[in-house]
Amino acid sequence: MGNWWVINNKIRECRASDNPIECLEKLFKATADGMVAYALGEEYEKTGDYENAIKYYTMAYTLFPKLTYKNMALMKMTMLMLKPKSDKEPTSWNDINAKIKTCLDSENHINCLEKLFEETRDGMVAFKLGDGYEKISDYNKAKNIMKLPMICFLMSIGS
């Protein structure tokens, strides 16, 4: 079922149904289509189930043939992965810097920084974490994590 019109009509029907997620999951199993995966990501995101939303946005990214749609899925994934885990007020710069210092002074600073990034989704924490990976010669992790500070910064000026 690769026809764009057919897929999008089926997605609309699922979204109008009593259980959009169940309907879209059945459609995805039948089609393995990127747009269906993307729609599932959106539906899971609406419910606050970010883990499943990221899962389906990731699938959409791998299934989409065109870069435009891949970027659309990548942006959704990135925004959810960088979304703070809690709804409490953002941590101040002074607090973050103090926590970074505590992590850097700890015996297992990488693990401490990973937990701090998970909690804050802060760009400086990501930068220090990438720096830590580089110091232990884990260049793949360093390269991947070092992309996050710029994304965090761009998201902060957009909100």
Could you tell me which residue, 32 or 153, shows the higher pLDDT?
Answer: 32
Same domain, 58 and 112: no
- Residues across the chain: 159
Inside any domain, residue 125: yes
Q: In terms of Cα–Cα distance, which of 83, 61, 79, 59 is closest to 71?
A: 61
Q: Domain with 151 in it: what CATH number?
A: 1.25.40
Q: Is residue 88 part of a domain?
A: no
Overall pTM > 0.75: no
In a domain, 129, yes or no: yes
Q: Sort 25 into a burial class: Cβ within 10 Å, 0-12 / 13-18 / 19+.
A: middle
- 97 and 77 in a common domain: no
User: Using CA atoms, how far apart are residues 110 and 107, in angstroms rounded to an integer?
Assistant: 9
Q: Is residue 149 pLDDT above 70, yes or no?
A: no
Same structural domain, 102 and 48: no
Residues 114 and 45 in one domain: no
Q: In this predicted structure, what is the pLDDT of residue 148?
A: 65
Cα–Cα distances in angstroms (integers) from residue 51 to residues 3, 12, 26, 88, in the given order: 29, 23, 19, 20
Number of domains comprising the chain: 2
132: containing domain: 93-158
